[in-house]
Amino acid sequence: MTQKVETAVKDASNEVPEPSRPSKPRKLIKSSRDIALQFLNEQEDIIESKKTIKPQDVKKGNVWMMGSARVSLENANLNPKVVAALKSMNVTELFAVQRAVVPVVIALSSSGSPGDICVGSPTGSGKTLSYVIPIQQILSTSRSTKLRAIVIVPTRQLASQVHHVFSKFEPFTNKKCALLNGTLHFNQEQEQLLSTLTNGELEWKVDVVVGTAQRLLQHVKETPGFSLEHLRFIVMDEVDVLLSEDSVQGVRGLLDAYHNHPVVARKHYRAQIAPDVPLPVPHLYARKILCSATLTAHAGKSEEARLFRPQYFTHTGETSDVGSTSLQFNTTKYAVPTTLRQHMVTYDPNYKPLYLITLLIHPKIKFFEKDRRILCFVDKNSTAKRLSELINMAHQMNVIQTNAPYDPKNKICATFETNFKNNQREAMLKQFEKGYFKILMCSDVMGRGIDIDVDTVINYDAPTHLKTYIHRVGRTARAGKKGFSFTLLENEEVEHFKKKLESRVQMSQDITEYAISIQKLESIKDAYKNILLRMKKGFKRGTNKLVLQDEQEPLAQAQQEQETQHKQSNDHYDNHHHHYQQEQQGYDDGYNYQSNRDYNDDYQESYHNDGGHYDHHRNKYDNQSYNNDYNNDNGGYVPYQGGFQQYLQEKKQQSKYNKY
Ligand SMILES: Nc1ncnc2c1ncn2[C@@H]1O[C@H](COP(=O)(O)OP(=O)(O)OP(=O)(O)O)[C@@H](O)[C@H]1O
């Protein structure tokens, strides 16, 4: 990371109930800090940090900061096998969050000291390796194979991704990781986990498991020998989702299974009554590591997570002087990557898709010239599907021009459907990364943790929650790369959105308004009309399939048909409308959003657990915006025919920003 990043660590132990007996001075916590400081001081390029870390800061505020000194892998005191694995992944130095978290976790775990870890740093800052590295380091010292680490994540997709990171270490450290997310049948998953010895005993075949809470819990209940008693790490990635109302049952079940195990219960009793005396055998303690980009020091969740003496790590994300004593340790704000440039685009709900197309072909952005990859978030599968068709049609009709001509087999836009099977999802993401298509329409199932190389995020449907926004836009500007986001908002939403963002999010760059001029809209209105015509003709009635017209069919013919249609009586129109609604119903059913079960398993942001609402438009989104979709007869198409000029005039007068 080239920019200066500050990392602060806060001992949040006052947020959990103190152990019942009076505790001795916290030597071990101190010593873990000392070890971590020593780790820093050993670095060649630490001069800047030495200047800026003041011992009194550490003592006074229970907060200490690290400078932006880089730590090369050679200087990170890691096991050579772990270093070799990291190098094979092109990791040559540790990112800020890893520099902060890795030495502390290793120090605590090596000395057998209890104490859980909470990591709240921006999207794309490298939180995954901040727990994978210490797990690999600690496990690489043990020869026996037992289940030592369990990583709980909210989505199947994220489970695959984290499993992939662990599996890259396997050739070097020989520590095996199993994926338990339902990609395989349950009994196939079971076969990966344990084998039966000749004496009938069960033996673990893996050291780490990664999975969704429900699936892991199913294994705890149904897989013989699946015991959590030897765990040394319990990781909860995207912990705020895991502990939200919709997902917490699974996590609760897993934590019950761990804490209620008699051996574990004894260990924890021992840690409670004598927290500063190291356990005789260091590995008799499972450390919890909680991560999320939207985790603040309000550890309201610690009760549910049953944390013990948590230490809280957070990036401030600021670039101000590291040594400044006036620097406030702000634990109530979220942070977005400093390399992210955020934009708002105001739109008129009657012409929302037109705004999207206009944005995509905007000469300043040059999306397609520069071969950018775009992730576009919508709230419904059906909207995603329809927008994909619209964009592909716009490409086919040359309204959207790219480097490559239209190819029916290789369209520029695809839909990531929530009812895809796991292997379909992975195949689609691979294709996207390889550039087979440029735009991926998706829902919030892609909003959390997914690490793909995306240049731009478009929020076609603005999210109703601030947290959701932070995670969605965080799919770009990852690992220090530049990224852009565009959020479509109605005029009256803009101020509210902006205020909310400014008050709750630490941003190094202001969010800018990106105006789409009326001239620009005008310039493609005819083309848009033709696209809609084609689209309407293209939907074969009674089916979900889009049947494209013959490439050679003159547009004039389609236009003529449209005129005829408009000369027909109102009655006829109403019939048509009715018919079309029915058809649409069938279409939506075909792409049913998700069963509740799936949705819960995958990811659902809890409305109750989010402090960052800007939600008074929620109903409006639910009830209105989708109805204005382009292939709804009352939406973009008919008003467009009747009142476009008038609309433009009104828009000119109404515009707050006077940019039209
Ligand atoms: N030290 C490093 N050197 C180079 N690349 C790294 C390093 N650490 C992480 N990365 C890369 O940075 C990207 C983002 O990392 P990661 O997915 O762990 O971010 P995150 O903080 O978990 O984000 P999110 O909050 O969105 O889940 C990944 O592609 C990862 O491979």
ipTM at complex level: 0.99
Expressed in angstroms and rounded, the spacing between residue 128 Cα and the centre of ligand 1 is 6
Lowest mean pLDDT among 108-112, 141-145, 493-497, 557-561: 557-561
pLDDT band at residue 494 using 50, 70 and 90 as cut-offs: very high
Could you tell me which residues come within 8 angstroms of residue 550 by beta carbon, excluding any fewer than 6 positions away?
none
Mutate to test the pocket of ligand 1, among 68, 87, 91 (most ligand atoms within 8 A of CB): 91
Stronger pLDDT, 48 or 20, i.e. the higher one: 20
pTM above 0.80, yes or no: no
pLDDT band at residue 268 using 50, 70 and 90 as cut-offs: low
% residues pLDDT > 90 (the chain):
34
pLDDT band at residue 124 using 50, 70 and 90 as cut-offs: very high
Q: Is the pLDDT of residue 472 over 70?
A: yes
Q: In whole angstroms, give the CA distance from residue 459 to residue 473.
A: 8
Q: Would you state the structure tokens that stand for residue 263, as one six-digit string?
A: 């051996």
3-state helix, strand, coil in the chain (%, to 5): 45, 15, 40
Give, as one character, the DSSP assignment of residue 633: I
Stronger pLDDT, 337 or 54, i.e. the higher one: 337
585 burial (CB, 10 Å; 0-12 / 13-18 / 19+) is exposed
Answer whether 474 contacts ligand 1 (Cβ < 6 A): yes
Stronger pLDDT, 60 or 343, i.e. the higher one: 343
Q: For residues 264-278, give the mean pLDDT.
A: 66
Answer whether 161 contacts ligand 1 (Cβ < 6 A): no
pLDDT for 366-410, tens place per residue? Answer: 777 667 899 999 998 889 999 999 999 999 988 888 877 777 777
Expressed in angstroms and rounded, the spacing between residue 88 Cα and the centre of ligand 1 is 15
Expressed in angstroms and rounded, the spacing between residue 339 Cα and the centre of ligand 1 is 14
Q: For residues 223-235, give the mean pLDDT.
A: 93
C-alpha separations of 502 from 87, 282, 333, 417 in Å: 39, 45, 10, 33
Answer whether 125 contacts ligand 1 (Cβ < 6 A): yes
Q: For residues 84-111, give the mean pLDDT.
A: 90
Expressed in angstroms and rounded, the spacing between residue 336 Cα and the centre of ligand 1 is 14
Residue nearest to atom 30 of ligand 1 (CA): 126
Atom of ligand 1 nearest to the CA of 93: 1
Beta-strand relationship, 413-415 and 439-442: parallel
Expressed in angstroms and rounded, the spacing between residue 457 Cα and the centre of ligand 1 is 18
pLDDT for position 42: 33
Residue nearest to atom 9 of ligand 1 (CA): 126
pLDDT for position 159: 96
Which residue in this structure is represented by tokens 């994540």? Answer: 153
Atom of ligand 1 nearest to the CA of 121: 21
pLDDT band at residue 274 using 50, 70 and 90 as cut-offs: low
Closest by Cα among 441, 374, 378, 370 to 401: 370
Q: Is the pLDDT of residue 458 over 60?
A: yes
Answer whether 124 contacts ligand 1 (Cβ < 6 A): yes
Mutate to test the pocket of ligand 1, among 451, 469, 472, 476 (most ligand atoms within 8 A of CB): 451
Expressed in angstroms and rounded, the spacing between residue 352 Cα and the centre of ligand 1 is 34
Q: Would you state the structure tokens that stand for residue 634, as one six-digit string?
A: 């009352």
Q: Is 416 helix (H, G, I), strand (E, B) or coil?
A: coil
pLDDT band at residue 316 using 50, 70 and 90 as cut-offs: low
Residue nearest to atom 10 of ligand 1 (CA): 126
pLDDT for position 99: 86
CA atoms within 13 A on the CB side of 518: 16
Q: Is the pLDDT of residue 50 over 50?
A: no
pLDDT band at residue 115 using 50, 70 and 90 as cut-offs: confident
pLDDT for 325-373, tens place per residue? Answer: 222 334 567 888 889 999 999 998 888 999 999 999 887 777 776 678 9
Q: Is the pLDDT of residue 168 over 50?
A: yes
pLDDT for position 225: 93
pLDDT for position 392: 93
Mutate to test the pocket of ligand 1, among 1, 78, 89, 95 (most ligand atoms within 8 A of CB): 95
pLDDT band at residue 440 using 50, 70 and 90 as cut-offs: very high
Answer whether 293 contacts ligand 1 (Cβ < 6 A): yes
Mutate to test the pocket of ligand 1, among 95, 118, 121, 129 (most ligand atoms within 8 A of CB): 129
Expressed in angstroms and rounded, the spacing between residue 496 Cα and the centre of ligand 1 is 32
pLDDT for position 535: 80
Q: Is the pLDDT of residue 633 over 60?
A: no
Q: For residues 96-104, give the mean pLDDT.
A: 87
What mean pLDDT value characterizes the chain? 71
Stronger pLDDT, 478 or 519, i.e. the higher one: 478
% residues pLDDT > 70 (the chain):
63
Expressed in angstroms and rounded, the spacing between residue 129 Cα and the centre of ligand 1 is 7
Expressed in angstroms and rounded, the spacing between residue 123 Cα and the centre of ligand 1 is 8
Q: Is the pLDDT of residue 126 over 60?
A: yes
Atom of ligand 1 nearest to the CA of 89: 31
Q: Is the pLDDT of residue 653 over 70?
A: no
pLDDT for position 304: 86
Atom of ligand 1 nearest to the CA of 292: 25
DSSP-assigned states of every residue in 131-170: HHHHHHHHHTT--S----EEEEES-HHHHHHHHHHHHHHH
Q: Is the pLDDT of residue 297 over 60?
A: no
Could you tell me which residues come within 8 angstroms of residue 97 by beta carbon, excluding any fewer than 6 positions away?
7, 119, 121, 125, 126, 127, 130, 313, 315
pLDDT band at residue 187 using 50, 70 and 90 as cut-offs: very high
557 burial (CB, 10 Å; 0-12 / 13-18 / 19+) is exposed
pLDDT band at residue 307 using 50, 70 and 90 as cut-offs: confident
Q: Is the pLDDT of residue 648 over 70?
A: no
Answer whether 450 contacts ligand 1 (Cβ < 6 A): no
